[in-house]
Amino acid sequence: LATSRRKRDKAANLAELVEASSWYHTIELPGGIVTKGAYDHRPLVQHMGFPENLTGQRALDVATFDGFWAFELERRGADVVAVDVEDAIGYDWPTGVREIVENEHLGVDVGASFEVARAALGSKVRRVPCSVYRLDPDELGKFDLVFAGDLLLHLERPLEALRRIRSVTSAKLVLADRYDPSISRRGSRLIRYEGGWQGLEWWAPSLETLAQWVIDAGFEDVEVKCVYQLATRFSDPAGWHRAVIHASAY
Ligand SMILES: C[S@@+](CC[C@H](N)C(=O)[O-])C[C@H]1O[C@@H](n2cnc3c(N)ncnc32)[C@H](O)[C@@H]1O
């Protein structure tokens, strides 16, 4: 950690700064620079069903990480707020892991690469350090469009998180998250508990269960827009199954 911070501090230009930073998202920056993200979401953008023109609308990107989706919503004209935890200490660690993370000060500044990308793009996205569990309309207001990608699988309490997301949504939710087709059975609400020890993945719900969470959190017009698989640069060549769910809040 200290080494990568030192490398970032010494970077003389954007290319060096990008090289010295670690990237979850593949983001196109000025000067033909493309960050080496663990994931490349660019081919997925057209399948998310975002309105082409979001001018005059407020959008929220929950769990923004390096900001790929926040910058995409801003590109479509939205006034964007992006939230994520301030430090990896804020993740839903199982108790045993939490003790190690806290005792050995293993927290990571989650927003460092976001800031590199934001500055390079000249973006006005406002990043607010805030756990999904603390989303509050009295603090952030409400949003016409809320996007939450690949977050629920990392949470111990996904339904509670969706209720907090519902509390700040005034019109539309776009949710992209993991499901397990092998346990999907029409009409059944099935879910596999993984327990958070492997890569902080707590749950693998069936598609029906994923959609039911959204309904149970108070959303309406819940619709599965598409399903896809997404590979990482490092492992899992096929990638988990994920679904894009649209829903409304009135
Ligand atoms: C797998 S990444 C997904 C990044 C991005 N949303 C996307 O779809 O590409 C998971 C993200 O969830 C964030 N996260 C984990 N726990 C969180 C919490 N309690 N509140 C807000 N964000 C959280 C992580 O910091 C990370 O940015």
Q: What is the 3-state secondary structure (H, E, C) of the chain?
A: CHHHHHHHHHCCCHHHHHHHCCCCECCEEHHHEECCCCECCHHHHHHCCCCCCCCCCEEEEECCCCCHHHHHHHHCCCEEEEEECCEHHHCCCCHHHHHHHHHCCCCCECCHHHHHHHHHHCCCCEEEECCHHHCCHHHHCCEEEEEEECCHHHCCCHHHHHHHHHHCEEEEEEEEEECCHHHCCCCCCCEEECCCCCCCCCEEECHHHHHHHHHHCCCEEEEEEEEEEECCCCCCCCCEEEEEEEEECC
35, 39, 50, 85: residue to mutate for ligand 1 pocket, most atoms within 8 A of CB: 85
> Quick one: which atom of ligand 1 is closest to the CA of 176?
8
Q: What integer pLDDT is reported at residue 114 of this predicted model?
A: 97
Residues whose beta carbon lies within 6 Å of some atom of ligand 1? 41, 63, 65, 68-69, 84-85, 90-91, 110, 131-133, 149-151, 154
Q: What integer pLDDT is reported at residue 2 of this predicted model?
A: 57
pLDDT < 70 positions in the chain: 1-12, 107, 235-237
> Quick one: which atom of ligand 1 is closest to the CA of 25?
9
Q: What is the 165 CA–ligand 1 centroid distance (Å)?
A: 13
85, 151, 163, 236: residue to mutate for ligand 1 pocket, most atoms within 8 A of CB: 151
Q: What integer pLDDT is reported at residue 228 of this predicted model?
A: 94
Q: What integer pLDDT is reported at residue 5 of this predicted model?
A: 66
Q: pTM for this structure?
A: 0.95
Q: What is the 61 CA–ligand 1 centroid distance (Å)?
A: 10
Q: What integer pLDDT is reported at residue 237 of this predicted model?
A: 66
Q: What integer pLDDT is reported at residue 108 of this predicted model?
A: 78
